[in-house]
Amino acid sequence: MGRINFCAAPLFLLLLSTSSLVVMVVESAIGVNWGTISSDRLAPSIVVNLLKENNITKVKLFDVDPQALSALRGTDIEVMVGIENQMLSILSTSPDVADSWITQNVSTYMTKGGVNIRYIAVGNEPFLTSFEGKLQTLVVPSLLNLQKALEKANLANLIKLVVPCNADAYESTVPSEGAFRPELTQIMTDLASFLNSTGSPFLVNIYPFLSLYQNSDFPQDFAFFNGTTHPLTDGPNVYSNAFDGNLDTLAAALDKVGYGQLPIVVGEIGWPTDGAPNANLNAASAFNQGLINHILSNKGTPMRPGVPPMDVYLFGLLDENAKSVLPGNFERHWGIFSFDGQAKYPLKLGLDSGPLKNATDVQHLPSSWCVVNPSKDISLMSKQFEFACSTVADCTALEDGGSCSGIGGKGNISYAFNGYYQQQKQDPRSCDFDGFGMITNVDPSVGDCRFPVGISVKSTFSPIKIEDKSSGSPSRGNNLGFRIRLDYFASWVVLLWVSLFL
């Protein structure tokens, strides 16, 4: 079933046998992560049409979403479905549960004219240090039980099991000395052995943005692909970008456990457009286009010349306005498209492709906004501001470094009021705010600070998926780690209010 034609970059794998040398050509491809943590979720049928219009034939889901999978039926789009971390405990101990999970969540869709499921992601970054080792021993037993279940269902030749790993699973000062964390060495050896035996790749999530965000000494140009004034020299190898250095560190770690030629897939990588310094449209465009061109050039890395990752999944497809902001306010702004399927910046997903095409058949609400009544005293609106931002309005663009951080106190309150008003589908009562709000037909947007207009019920699908609050990781996906925390968010809003008026 279809590979993505416009981004073909040959990956040559050499297979040795007793009689001959066999050369397999595998195409690298650019896919996307389709996250759904949004209070204004586009209908899955619209999203699938968006994928097809942009010739995206690989998509990664973070769970088994029946509505998304239903919309994907009958397409050639290759799908990766996910198993949440909370399932690992039972899957690792019960072959019957593994059989049942495959039957209900995979076999059901693998019919003629069904869904083209190619990968199952088992857990989401289960080796993160923040999980304190609670999940790591569950991974390989879960894989073994699920593999047997796939074999029983006669699907083992079609579907591969993978484990999304965060880059904190390995470490080094230079790529050639890369090694898995000591406590993971045996587990990663067993994992790599399993992947090798089943013909599965090693799946890793890489985020140069986070390196820049978390470390003020990180050279900014090293995060991108246009060359750097701070190259990293490692023996004969010279690295001009963080991505290659990270991949080769992983390659060295795999080599140390005996599987240095294991194919690598990048499960998540991207750049946010708002919510933090360096998170903006220009930077996101430069990073993602540079990444795509780098992958499709077939250049590879210094340690794997001519061998780029098998596939790369951009994070993400759409903005998700209800994700937790615990890792940072940028979490809601990773999409290459806005929440309503509109391209946020020029981006070519293939060497010969055109720019992104917007989603079609999206019905927006009328051109109406909720703003502060100019006759009212904004110093009396703290309660209303906090209510708007702590319920459904996304106020992350107001934070320092955000696209709306410079619009002043009245602008901030208007932005919050409007966010709430749009989420309430422009119900006039939702703009009252104890008499402090008013409805206007004049767009209050200022420069790069856009006051959004919501989408109609006809273009949306379902209410927001409320996430678990378990402690865990800063994954960009639907990890158990960072979930909606209204108590935290309310405290953030109070702090923002204080910064505005004191």
**What are 408-441's pLDDT values in tens digits?**
999 999 999 999 999 999 999 999 999 999 999 9
Report the pLDDT averaged over residues 168-179: 97
pLDDT over 80 at 10, yes or no: no
Confirm if 390 and 489 have CB atoms less than 8 A apart: yes
pLDDT of the residue at 499 = 33
Residue spans of beta strands (DSSP E) within 66-129: 78-83, 116-122
Which has the higher per-residue pLDDT, 27 or 150?
A: 150
DSSP designation for 395 = -
Report the pLDDT averaged over residues 213-236: 95
* CA–CA separation, 386 and 420 (whole Å): 11
* 211-215, 254-258, 262-266, 470-474: segment of lowest average pLDDT: 470-474
Domain ranges (residues) in the chain: 5-332, 369-454+466-501
- CATH dotted code for 5-332: 3.20.20.80
User: To the nearest whole number, what is the mean pLDDT of the chain?
Assistant: 88
Residue spans of beta strands (DSSP E) within 41-200: 58-60, 78-83, 116-122, 160-162, 165-166, 170-171, 179-180
Under the banding of pLDDT at 50, 70 and 90, the label for residue 24 is very low
Under the banding of pLDDT at 50, 70 and 90, the label for residue 15 is very low
Under the banding of pLDDT at 50, 70 and 90, the label for residue 322 is very high
**What are 267-277's pLDDT values in tens digits?**
999 999 999 99
pLDDT over 50 at 344, yes or no: yes
**What are 55-91's pLDDT values in tens digits?**
999 999 999 999 999 999 999 999 999 999 999 999 9
For the annotated catalytic residues, the residue numbers are 125, 268
pLDDT over 90 at 114, yes or no: yes
For the whole model, what pTM was predicted?
Answer: 0.88
**What are 179-222's pLDDT values in tens digits?**
999 999 999 999 999 999 999 999 999 999 999 999 999 999 99
Torsion of CA 261, 196, 255, 58, to 10 degrees: 60
In the three-class reduction of DSSP (H, G, I as helix; E, B as strand; rest coil), residue 243 is classed as helix
Amino acid residing at 120: I
**What are 440-477's pLDDT values in tens digits?**
999 999 999 999 999 998 888 754 443 433 334 445 55
pLDDT of the residue at 460 = 82
Report the pLDDT averaged over residues 168-181: 97
pLDDT of the residue at 21 = 31
* 6-20, 146-160, 443-457: segment of lowest average pLDDT: 6-20
C-alpha distances (whole Å) from 458 to each of 69, 319, 365, 397, 422 are: 19, 19, 10, 27, 15
Under the banding of pLDDT at 50, 70 and 90, the label for residue 12 is very low
* CA–CA separation, 34 and 334 (whole Å): 11
Query: What are the respective helix, strand and coil percentages of the chain, to the nearest 5?
Result: 40, 15, 45
pLDDT of the residue at 329 = 95
Contacts of residue 466, Cβ cutoff 8 Å, sequence gap at least 6:
483, 484
The full DSSP string for 399-438 is STTSTTTTSHHHHHHHHHHHHHHHHTTT-GGGG-GGGTEE
